[in-house]
Amino acid sequence: MTILSRALVAAIAAAAVWTAAAVATTWTALPALRTDFYSSIPRDQVGTFQRRVGVMTSAGADWIHAGWIADPERESYRVSLRSGDEAWSPVTTTRYGSALVGDLRAGSDYEVRVEAVAEAAGAAARELGTATVRTTVEPGPLERPVIAGPWRRLFRPSKAGNYVNDHTVFRDASGRWRVLGITGPGRGDYNAELRLAQGLAPDRAAPLAAQVPGGATSPPAPLTLRELLAAGGMTEDEPVADFRRPAWAPHVIREHGGLFHLYWSPHRLAHAVSIDGAHWYRRPDAIALPSGWFFRDAMLLEVARGQWLLYATARGWWYSRVDLYQSFDLDHWQHIGVAWQGQSGSERNALVSSAESPFVVARGGRYYLSITYNNETGIAAPLALALGYWTGGARAYNDTLVFASGDPYEFGTWRGRGRASGLVAELEAHAPEIVRDDADDAWYVTTCGWPLAATLTSGEVAAAPLRWEPVTR
């Protein structure tokens, strides 16, 4: 046997061992992770929640979505649609509490009806509810986000930890910008990330001339993001979510009543609330057992009044994906499908999922999903990471893909860059948020990361201006 043939045999053997190890690890590890569709709503309370919620709808220019509480172990659901005096027309059957109906007329009224069909033989259909909904006007042009300036420091902690990874950016009740983010000691150890670092924008100095009748001084307007970045960024406030278990990937939203909601992971959805966006009070876990494997990096989007979607990193038997959950009260969630998934041809499908830090922006009647496409396939990268080494390089660590969709429920299937579906942009950023500052009508994008990895920063959250450009195809 020649030296060349021996090298070829050795390479084939090494590839076979690597593949076998990856497959064995997958098939051993995944079933050991506990999951349960009903974790957020106990089985014996499904009927109560069904009566409370009924059928809720959201709509776009050519689509309607119906949402309800599902009981997939006991029944399936028949969804029908009609317009005006038309007869009811069945459009789909599903086991989850979600139905997306497309190819509809813009600016038109529709009725949607959902009926439950029990598994028992001969059982009659039971109506869950009927709702009326109007489709919207045609969306604006398809766009892509573009980083339009240099990165500037927004926040880096020194007390709660030494860096910030996945994070959330929001205004508190006073209007001041805040950051909450993953932190820990050293250069990056996910096992030591047990609380969230908190950054706070400084107060603007009150102008002496800002007087109101009676001699009082009017409060100064909070700093805009542009002013905050020019001033050097945020100071450190007290850490949040120090509960002696991992605290990753926070996300904060504010509901219409004014209450702030904070969620974080992994493997369950922890929940806290705040009146002012600064002081947080723990609530029971919103999801104790997720529906999918490797649940983490949850992000929320309100799609209609009293209806929220939650996007989360997840993993199928082999491919990475973004799971989709639905809630009507921000306390109870149900899995309704997969918003984005890798398939044959996708470049990265790590055991812990490569579809990290999903983030959705609504703009001009369209929706844009960003995913940090991270973590190499196989077992070598996670083993190296456990030893404190990042093997993927800058390209992998700061590789964020942006997908566009006409609705917030489906962003397509990823089969690699050569067969991209819905891909409109690639951003050199890690775990970014795309943020609009209403005060000066400006958009920004953030980045962050472990100092041990090939990050664009030295451990801080940084922000850069962002612009939207038309997509021409």
Judge if 128 and 173 occupy the same domain. no
d(CA 132, CA 184): 49
Judge if 109 and 232 occupy the same domain. no
- From 134, 151, 179, the end of a domain falls on 134
Model confidence at 19, pLDDT cuts 50, 70, 90, reads: very low
- From 134, 151, 168, the end of a domain falls on 134
pLDDT, one tens digit per residue, over 258-308 is 999 999 999 999 999 999 999 999 999 999 999 989 999 999 999 999 999
Q: What pLDDT is attached to residue 208?
A: 46
CATH of the domain at 76: 2.60.40.10
d(CA 155, CA 460): 6
pLDDT, one tens digit per residue, over 206-260 is 554 445 556 556 678 999 999 999 999 999 999 998 888 999 999 999 999 899 9
Judge if 150 and 121 occupy the same domain. no
Judge if 89 and 224 occupy the same domain. no
Q: Which of 164, 148, 145 is nearest to 156 (CA)?
A: 164
Domain that holds residue 173: 143-204+219-470
d(CA 400, CA 4): 40
Q: Is residue 32 part of a domain?
A: no
* 21 has pLDDT over 60: no
Judge if 74 and 107 occupy the same domain. yes
Which of the residue ranges 111-115, 237-241, 388-392 would you say has the lowest mean pLDDT?
388-392
d(CA 472, CA 107): 26
Q: Which of 360, 373, 462, 365 is nearest to 107 (CA)?
A: 365
Q: Is residue 433 part of a domain?
A: yes
Judge if 102 and 164 occupy the same domain. no
d(CA 426, CA 392): 17
Contact 321, 349 (CB under 8 A): no
Judge if 175 and 229 occupy the same domain. yes
pLDDT, one tens digit per residue, over 135-178 is 999 999 999 999 999 999 999 999 999 999 999 999 999 999 99
CATH of the domain at 254: 2.115.10.20
d(CA 91, CA 65): 12
How many other C-beta atoms lie within 10 A of the C-beta of residue 234? Answer: 26
Q: Is residue 211 part of a domain?
A: no
Judge if 163 and 191 occupy the same domain. yes
Contact 381, 332 (CB under 8 A): no
pLDDT, one tens digit per residue, over 326-372 is 999 999 999 999 999 999 999 898 888 999 999 999 999 999 999 99
Contact 453, 186 (CB under 8 A): no
What would the two tokens of residue 10 be? Answer: 């050795």
How many other C-beta atoms lie within 10 A of the C-beta of residue 342? Answer: 25
**What amino acid occupies position 7?**
A
Judge if 165 and 88 occupy the same domain. no
Mean pLDDT computed over 48-59: 97
Judge if 166 and 308 occupy the same domain. yes
Q: Is residue 318 part of a domain?
A: yes
Judge if 155 and 302 occupy the same domain. yes
Q: Is residue 401 part of a domain?
A: yes
> Would you call 394 helix, strand, or coil by DSSP?
helix
Total structural domains within the chain: 2
Q: What pLDDT is attached to residue 217?
A: 64
Contact 108, 427 (CB under 8 A): no
Q: How far apart are the first and last CA of the chain?
A: 54
Judge if 110 and 176 occupy the same domain. no
- From 116, 134, 152, the end of a domain falls on 134
Is residue 214 classed exposed, middle or buried when 0-12, 13-18 and 19+ CB atoms within 10 A define those classes? Answer: exposed
Interior/surface letters 286-311, b for 16+ CB within 10 angstroms, e for the rest = bbebbbbbbbbbbbbbbbeeebbbbb
How many other C-beta atoms lie within 10 A of the C-beta of residue 243? Answer: 13
User: pLDDT averaged over the chain?
Assistant: 89
Question: Does 6 or 351 have the greater pLDDT score?
Answer: 351
Contact 391, 109 (CB under 8 A): no
